[in-house]
């Protein structure tokens, strides 16, 4: 970006250059972003996006840094970290229903836990899911039999002309870990806020269910630096079963490792590089394909540059 463009951007928020993305991802992996800005409200998110469009600068919207693997050579253009977290509700409606609206940068797990502590059903399955609410919409996040499509009613988006509009959930074509966003149909739109419908219940009953799911998640999922589930679950059996069956539990390439606790979690066990994680993913997918004829598709998004042959460590 030019000096004039950086000055313009600095009026939206604090700007960093050559910012290591490893500092901003749950994997702890990723080369530098050319330019990086953190925005704290919907207006600033829209303004940063429009500035990039106006100057023909590629941009990437970053949530909490989960569910992505950033390349070792980083991200060209502008990375916009979405930290817009305003919440409205839950507001009681008739028939025991409630409306909840939140900005797209809100922590999904924090929002879910807050709603559950207030005695609302609908987000109890989400209390341990990392990432932002916007990311949850993009990938139709789900766990333990629930998913965002079950409760989503509408979203507010901004397009490259600066227009904002509210779209019904039906316009997003939500499916298992996918939507119009993942299929590239909404490349010119940015999520600003999300509205959901919840059901009022007993605080004790809701929190009892949350405690059960917390315990289940703690037992099944490994702590440490990872991006969550690496592969989507194919039909029939979960991805971890296939990875385990082909003998890859505990396998390593450099400091990228398949978790001993959950084979669909790949870990940064030290100074892992994106190229190492990608090579491990390709090895797992190849073994499963050759033995079972099943294709494993990534659930994590590969973002930026530098996933090719691994460089020699210095």
Catalytic, 173? Answer no
Nearest-angstrom CA–CA distance, 193 and 42: 8
Nearest-angstrom CA–CA distance, 284 and 293: 13
- To the nearest 10°, the Cα dihedral for 100, 105, 106, 108? 90
Catalytic position from the list 40, 42, 177, 273: 177
Catalytic position from the list 124, 156, 276, 299: 299
Nearest-angstrom CA–CA distance, 276 and 307: 8
Catalytic, 54? Answer no
Structure tokens at 58: 């590629």
Contact present, 32 and 20 (Cβ < 8 Å): yes
Nearest-angstrom CA–CA distance, 113 and 208: 12
Provide the H-helix boundaries in 73-232. Answer: 108-117, 133-138, 203-220
Residue of 20, 102, 99, 101 whose CA lies nearest to 65: 20
Name every residue whose Cβ is closer than 8 Å to that of residue 312 and which is 6 or more positions away in sequence: none
Look up tokens 């490349």; give the residue: 187
Which secondary-structure segment (H or E) carries 265? strand 265-268
Which secondary-structure segment (H or E) carries 33? strand 32-39
Nearest-angstrom CA–CA distance, 151 and 308: 40
Residue of 221, 197, 198, 194 whose CA lies nearest to 117: 198
- Strand-pair partners of 224: none
Catalytic, 276? Answer no
Give the chain's count of helices (H) and strands (E). Answer: 7, 18
Catalytic position from the list 66, 107, 193, 229: 229
Q: Which residues are catalytic?
A: 177, 229, 299
């Amino acid at each position: 970006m030019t000096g004039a463009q950086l000055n313009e951007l600095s009026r939206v928020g604090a700007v960093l250059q050559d910012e290591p993305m490893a500092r901003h991802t749950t994997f702890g992996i990723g080369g530098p972003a050319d330019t990086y800005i953190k925005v704290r409200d919907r207006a600033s998110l829209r303004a940063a996006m429009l500035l990039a469009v106006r100057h023909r600068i590629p941009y990437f919207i970053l949530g909490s840094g989960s569910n992505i693997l950033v390349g070792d050579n980083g991200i060209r253009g502008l990375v916009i970290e979405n930290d817009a977290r305003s919440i409205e509700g839950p507001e009681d409606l008739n028939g025991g229903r409630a409306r909840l609206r939140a900005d797209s940068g809100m922590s999904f797990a924090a929002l879910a836990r807050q709603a559950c502590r207030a005695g609302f059903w609908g987000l109890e399955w989400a209390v341990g899911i990392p990432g932002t609410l916007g990311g949850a919409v993009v990938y139709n996040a789900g766990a333990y039999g629930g998913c965002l499509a079950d409760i989503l009613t509408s979203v507010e988006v901004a397009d490259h002309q600066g227009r904002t509009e509210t779209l019904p959930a039906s316009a997003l074509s939500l499916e298992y870990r996918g939507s119009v966003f993942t299929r590239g149909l909404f490349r010119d739109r940015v999520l600003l806020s999300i509205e959901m419908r919840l059901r009022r219940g007993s605080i004790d009953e809701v929190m009892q269910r949350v405690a059960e799911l917390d315990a289940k998640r703690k037992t099944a999922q490994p702590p440490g630096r990872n991006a969550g589930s690496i592969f989507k679950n194919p039909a029939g059996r979960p991805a971890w079963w296939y990875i385990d069956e082909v003998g890859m539990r505990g396998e390593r390439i450099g400091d990228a490792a398949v978790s001993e606790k959950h084979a669909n979690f790949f870990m940064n066990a030290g100074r892992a590089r994106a190229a190492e994680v990608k090579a491990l993913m390709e090895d797992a997918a190849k073994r499963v394909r050759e033995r079972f004829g099943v294709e494993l598709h990534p659930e994590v998004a590969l973002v930026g540059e530098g996933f090719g042959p691994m460089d020699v460590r210095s």
